[in-house]
Structures are given as structure tokens and as C-alpha cells.
Amino acid sequence: MIQEVEKYLAEAEAFTSNDLGEVEKFRIRFLGKKGILNKLFAEFKSVPAEDKKTYGQMLNKLKRLVSEKVKKLKETIENQSETQSGREDLTKPGYPYKLGAKHPVNLVKNRIVDIFRRIGFNVSEGPEIEDDWHNFSALNLPEYHPARDMQDTFFIQRHPDWLLRTHTSSVQIRYMEKHKPPIRTISPGRVYRNEDISARAHIQFHQVEGLYIDKGVSFADLKQTIMYFTKEMFGKSKVRFRPSYFPFTEPSAEVDIYWGLKTEDDYRITKGTGWLEIMGAGMVDPNVLQNMQIDPEQYSGFAFGMGIERIAMLLYGISDIRMLFENDMRFLEQFKSRF
């Protein structure tokens, strides 16, 4: 039996043709339903035990040889035909372009940026590796300030003054260094915190922070801006402001929207209250304005900040933040039709 397989191997090795019909006959003879290979595989049980391994390897070699020979000959014949015709066959179907999908974080970020651009906010960006001044000190967080412990920071070992930014407020500091009031800007970007990774927290996430500074800016302006945003983003305008503390704003507040209690998911994500926290906000602390050589007697302003992943998880019903960073194509392809 092994000698018979060797004979077929030699025949397949020697076969060549410039005719597609002959190549197809060769394929059917060896690989067809009633072809040589199926017949040889059926005889495998009759092979002596000591020869089974060699026999099986030779059959696999024959199958691979025939398949590759057929593929190579067909490609050669088709290429020769196109070359002889002097042009492509215009009747052949075109190759479809595979559409990609926008990441849900980018979808939400772009939507937020668009909402604030409508009311005059521009977009500012800055480095993800920051120094202590822009990330902490200029924001009313001097060295040894206890509030620094609120943000578990990744420091760069060889440069103790350098770190991975913990918020995009550092971009606002850089913006104020280069621009004088009136200032109206939002700062989207990636930030880093040294936290345990879980379904609700990650060491990296994205923020959008906003800043508005001008003469006569009040807390009422902040409230109206936030209400406009929640209406445009969520279709909800019922909000509440809870007193809070941030070193760079005074007074400070956590902002909640009334999400409702219409479904079981509503009860779950709001813990049965109907209210959902979406951002922090407040009036810019006068010390921050002074650090930027902006006179707090003439100018005032407000700032706000929100996590993009948190909003994406709310809008798209995503239960685990880790899904946004794992690059699972099965997950990302769900967002192909979203713009």
C-alpha cells in the first residue's frame, strides 16, 4: 500500500497544465468524493499496525501536495489570462470595503464635544505626562496637601517631579498660561489613577473637563450650562447639586440627574433612588486664578468634569468597564452603526 501511495505522490509531483479544465479533472481525480485520497483513507484500517504512522503521514503529504498544486496552477493560468487580455475583467465583482467601528468611548467623547461646541466652547489638549505644578500645585494642591491622597498617582521613578496626569485639569492650567479671559474651553483626554481594576474602576480612563472664565460668571451660569448638557446628552433636565469638596473649586458640588425608575436596570444603577451622579463641578477657586495671574477681583469662572466611560456605560448598557479596554472585536462591532 505504501508503494501505491508513493506512485501517486510521483504522479502529483510531475503533473502540470495550462488548461483550467485539466487542472479541475486532476483535482477531482485526487480530491473528489470518489477520488483517490478518499479511497486510500478508507483502506487505512487494512494497513499493518507498524506501517500506520508512515502510511498516514504519506496520505497527508499527498493531500497537501495536490491542494497546493491545484491552487498554484489555477492562479498561474488566471494571471496569464489577465496579462494577455491587457486589462482587468470589468465584469468581475469588486472587493467590498470592510467598515470599521467607532469605539464607544470615542462616540461619547465626540458627542460631548459637539454639545459644548454649540455654546462656544473650544477644545484644548495637553500632555499625558505632566509635572507637579500643572497637575497639583497650580490647582490649589501644594506639596503635602492632604487632598493629594484623593488621587492615587503614578509617579515616574527617575523624575520625581513627573507623573501620569490624574485629571485633565492640568490642560486647563496650560490653557490659562497661554490665554487670558474670556476663556471657554473643554479638555477631553486620558487620565491615570493607581487603583485596583474591577468592573467599575480602572487604572486608565477618559475625562472631559470644562472651564469658563469671564467677568460676572456666577453659579447660576454653571447650573444653566449643566442643565443644557444633560438635556442634550440624556434627554433629562431634572438635576440636583449636592455640596462637595474639590481643592480647585469653591463652592463645589456633585451633580446628579434624575434617571427615573421605569425598569429593573433603572433600580439597579440608581440603587433604587432614581438619581445618578454624572459629574463634579464648582466655581473656580480664587487661588487658582491668582496662580495664573488672573485677577479674581475682576474675573470669576466655573469648572466641571465627567468620566467618559461612566457615561458610555450608562448610554449603552455596559456593565463592566474592562470591556472598553480589551479590544474584543465581538464587542466593538456592535457599535458599527452608531455615529
Q: What percent of the chain has pLDDT over 90?
A: 45
* Cβ partners under 8 Å of residue 294, min gap 6: 176, 180, 181, 213
Query: What nine digits make up the cell of 282?
Result: 464648582
Q: Among the ranges 44-58, 109-123, 253-267, 310-324, which has the highest mean pLDDT value?
A: 109-123
This prediction has a pTM of 0.68
Position 87 scores a pLDDT of 60
- Give the Cα separation of 114 and 106 in Å (integer): 12
Question: Is the CA virtual torsion 319, 325, 326, 329 positive or negative?
Answer: positive
* Cβ partners under 8 Å of residue 267, min gap 6: 261
Position 26 scores a pLDDT of 86
Q: pLDDT tens for residues 43-72?
A: 877 878 887 788 788 888 888 988 998 888
Position 86 scores a pLDDT of 54
**Pairing assessment for the beta strands 122-123 and 183-192 based on DSSP bridges:** parallel
Q: pLDDT tens for residues 191-234?
A: 999 888 888 889 999 999 999 999 999 999 999 999 999 999 99
DSSP 281: E
- Contact (CB, 8 A) for 278 and 256: yes
Position 139 scores a pLDDT of 92
Instruction: Quickly count: other Cβ atoms within 10 Å of residue 186's Cβ.
Output: 23
Strand order in the sheet with 204-214: 122-123, 183-192, 204-214, 300-307, 275-284, 249-258, 239-246
pLDDT > 90? residue 265 = no
Q: What percent of the chain has pLDDT over 70?
A: 94
Position 196 scores a pLDDT of 86
Question: Mean pLDDT throughout 114-125?
Answer: 96
Q: Among the ranges 36-50, 69-83, 112-126, which has the highest mean pLDDT value?
A: 112-126
* Mean of pLDDT over the chain: 87
- Contact (CB, 8 A) for 283 and 219: yes
Q: With H, G, I as helix, E, B as strand and everything else as coil, classify residue 144.
A: coil
- Contact (CB, 8 A) for 203 and 192: yes
- What CATH code would you report for 104-335? 3.30.930.10
Judge if the upstream peptide bond of residue 146 is cis by omega within 30 degrees of 0.
no
> Which sequence spans correspond to the domains of the chain?
2-85, 104-335
Q: Within its chain, how far is the Cα of 229 from the centroid?
A: 23
Instruction: Quickly count: other Cβ atoms within 10 Å of residue 222's Cβ.
Output: 23
Q: pLDDT tens for residues 275-286?
A: 999 999 999 999
Position 107 scores a pLDDT of 92
Position 111 scores a pLDDT of 95
- Contact (CB, 8 A) for 239 and 230: yes
With bands split at pLDDT 50, 70 and 90, how would you rate the model's confidence at 89? low
